[in-house]
Structure 1
Amino acid sequence: MIVQSLLGEFLHEAENTRKLLNAIPDDALDWKPSETSWTTGQLASHIAEIYNWYDVTLHQDVFDMATYKYDKGDISKASNIVAKFEENVKKAQESLEAAKDENMMNEWKMTMGSDEPVFPVMPRAIVARGFLMNHLYHHRGEMIVYLRSTGNKVPGLYGPTYEESMR
């Protein structure tokens, strides 16, 4: 029941992520709102990369970020970022479909080169919602601001956007 619930949300929200990533034009990829912020391309790449974390989160008890190999691919074109997203979302869906309800309450932790957790140890189901899904939604919200700030159209994710509703 837990896995099926997560899978339903995953499939729905992956489509929203796809719409958002497909709305990014190449000429916006180098823009960033401040010196300390990521560029649009870096943020989009991070959004695509979060889907690569499903397997280790759902099928291992510890995720050591110190050993993780981040593969953002070529972020010079939006289509490359979308391709990386498609690759990662396919693997994430397979990992979620292979997950077992009886393991979803097992404790999970993230470390950074030691045995000390980066944040509190939690049941895997909670981590799937917070670390994978909610984290992704947070960055999608940032991307919406980036797109609007560069004068680009934002797709409606949960209904029409303000601009769409004014037509």
Structure 2
Amino acid sequence: MILQSLIAEFEHEVNSTRKLLQAVPEKDLEYKPSQISWSMGELAQHIATIYYWYVGTLKQDVYDMAADTFERGDPGDIKATLDLFERNVEKARTALTSVSEESLQRQWTMKVGDQTVLGPMPRAAVVRGFLFNHIYHHRGEMIVYLRATGNKVPGMYGPTYEESGPGK
């Protein structure tokens, strides 16, 4: 039951994430709202990379991020980031559709080397918090970046202000 709900949400939200990443223009990839912020290209790349983490999260009871190697690519190339996103979505989908309800109840821990940074907690909570909500958080940031640079924000849950605001 939980798994079916997670898969349905994953599929719906992948489409929204894809629309958002497709709205990122090459000309604004270097934009940063502050000195300590990621550039728009780095943020897009991070969003695409989170989908890779589904594999370690769903296949390992202890996921050591320091021991994992994954491709990031060039944050200055939005086409490469979109390709990375699509490859990682396929990996995430395969991992998510291959887990069992029982495995979602098992305790899971994230480490970076010897340091525990998340957990232990039930894997289902990690899927919601570390994977799904993490992506949603960064999508919200990307919306701010797009608006700050004068770009259109795609509708993900209905029309955006740009599509239906005053004068529309």
TM-score scaled by structure 1? Answer: 0.96
The Cα offsets for residues 70-98 of structure 1, whole Å up to 9 and x where unpaired, read as: 42112222111111100000110011110
**Cα distance in structure 1, aligned partners of 2:150 and 2:91:** 33
Name the structure 2 match of 1:117.
116
**Cα distance in structure 1, aligned partners of 2:63 and 2:83:** 25
Letter in 2 for 1:140: R
Name the structure 1 match of 2:137.
138
**Cα distance in structure 2, aligned partners of 1:68 and 1:16:** 27
Give the percent of matched residue pairs that are identical in Structure 1 and Structure 2.
55
Letter in 1 for 2:130: F
Aligned length: 166
Q: Equivalent residues in 2 for 1:78-117 (5 A)?
A: 78-114=78-114, 116-117=115-116
**Cα distance in structure 2, aligned partners of 1:98 and 1:156:** 31
Gaps in structure 1 of 5+ consecutive residues: none
**Cα distance in structure 2, aligned partners of 1:27 and 1:144:** 16
**Cα distance in structure 2, aligned partners of 1:41 and 1:31:** 8
TM-score scaled by structure 2? Answer: 0.96
Q: How much is the aligned-residue C-alpha RMSD, in angstroms?
A: 1.0
The Cα offsets for residues 48-67 of structure 1, whole Å up to 9 and x where unpaired, read as: 00000111101110111111
Name the structure 2 match of 1:148.
147
Gaps in structure 2 of 5+ consecutive residues: none
Structure with the bigger percentage of strand:
2
